Amino acid sequence: MSNKQRIVVVGGGIAGLALSTQLGQHLGRSGKAEVTLLDRNGAHVWKPMLHTFAAGTANSYQQRISFVAQAARCSFRFLPGGMQDIDRQAREVVVSPIVSAHGEEVLGERRVGYDVLFLAAGSRANDFGTPGVGEHCFFIDDLHQAETFNDRLYADLLRTAALGEPLTIAIVGAGATGVELAAEISQLLDVASSYGAGDLRPRLTLTLIESSPRILAAFPEEVAGAAAQQLRTLGIDVRTGVRVVGADASGFELGDGSRIEASLRVWAAGVKAPEAVAGLQGFELTPTGQIKVKPSLQTTTDECVFALGDCSSLVPEGASRPLPPTAQVARQQAMHLARHVPAWLDGKPIPPFILRDLGSLVSLSRYNAFGTLGRHGLFRNRFIRGRFAQLSHALLYRLHQAELHGLGRAGLIWLSDAISATVRPRIRVD
């Protein structure tokens, strides 16, 4: 009988893939543990880039990381499939069946045993039960959804260019995703016009809807104000303090009885845990389904089950609110556990997770970027904008690549991206 620890990581997002990679390299390669990553998709993309894939201003294929290839290189195992449930008594994850695009069952329900379980299943937009949203709106919570929206956007853009039809788009939710998606769509039209499609901007009506008094509610006011001004300069109708009470095939119904007509409707508001996490029994959950964790990131009811990233909820000592569901938090939690789990398996405690606030950034495509530099370093809390902010935003993704691939391989990827940018179209053209 093997004495290897069975480590299972659910979710191959920013936190899950980084943790699987690090644990595979440090524990899997040495034979101390068998590390398994479970995900319903076959490849990883950096979630903060989903809006660029949705708009068609970035090539998703070039930015994907194959789970199979990463697992082979970093000494962990990839198991395709989504988490359906957890049998804590048997210490098994119940894996949902895999169904083909034609509705055929490829693999039935399976079970995978664990000694230590890490839940990094990410999050989804929250429609708050608003009537019609699920049936009539696009979401961009994962790559499949982003590409589905892009297919529809591309078709509508073709009709606009060829027939002069208006292109009306409304985005609900002016957090980072909604704001950045609006800017990317604007950039898409600018580039399409330069490719001979004619001046498309007069035919675009793009509305950004936010229920809060201002956009980017989680960002400093200076960042939100600058971003709102930039969006309005681009001709985007930014509406704040507006409540959506319904959606249908032609637009949104607002709380004051008025409507916003839109042929394309995107819901990017709110955050909640995926249904598979929110439906788990035996864990303390928030009202939106996130799993409450201790400072060690262990769940409050089972020390062998950890939760990290967007699907977890940690209220730091002395704070009144949990950490925000951001890429920065997910990445730092993954690296914290990667550093301390090997010693924990030998009986040492995991120290409390402490977030190192590196600031917040929002990039409005190639037009501009705004942010703050955080609470550490020489320029603490300094407001930044323009090219420096854009480079800082891009650096976050490059650091993620370096953690997954190492500096050498990441450098080659950066070079490949630079070369590709000189020969590929800047937007989807076919």
Count of structural domains, the chain: 3
273 burial type by CB count under 10 A (0-12 exposed, 13-18 middle, 19+ buried): buried
Specify the pLDDT at position 2: 58
Q: Mention every residue, 6+ apart, whose C-beta is less than 8 A from residue 319.
A: none
280 plus 333 within the same structural domain: yes
291 plus 252 within the same structural domain: no
Specify the pLDDT at position 192: 85
Edge-first strand listing for the sheet containing 33-39: 77-80, 33-39, 5-10, 116-119, 305-307
111 plus 31 within the same structural domain: yes
324 plus 199 within the same structural domain: no
Specify the pLDDT at position 376: 55
Q: Which domain does 65 fall in, by range?
A: 5-124+272-345
* Inside any domain, residue 49: yes
190 plus 241 within the same structural domain: yes
412 burial type by CB count under 10 A (0-12 exposed, 13-18 middle, 19+ buried): exposed
Q: Return the SS3 of 178.
A: helix
Specify the pLDDT at position 1: 40
Specify the pLDDT at position 157: 92
Q: Which residues of the chain have pLDDT under 70?
A: 1-2, 375-381, 429-430
Query: What is the rounded CA–CA span in Å between residue 394 and residue 334?
Result: 20
Predicted confidence (pLDDT) per residue in 329-383, tens digit: 999 999 999 999 999 999 999 999 999 988 889 999 999 999 988 765 445 668 8
61 plus 83 within the same structural domain: yes
Among 267, 299, 316, where does a domain finish? 267
224 plus 143 within the same structural domain: yes
Helix (H) or strand (E) holding 56: none
For residue 61, the domain's CATH number is 3.50.50.60
202 plus 289 within the same structural domain: no
Q: Return the SS3 of 92.
A: strand
81 plus 198 within the same structural domain: no
CB distance 308 to 330 below 8 Å = yes
Predicted confidence (pLDDT) per residue in 240-268, tens digit: 999 999 999 999 999 999 999 999 999 99
Strands (E), 145-298: 167-172, 204-209, 237-239, 244-248, 251-254, 259-261, 264-267, 291-292
Q: Return the SS3 of 423.
A: helix
236 plus 283 within the same structural domain: no
Specify the pLDDT at position 183: 96
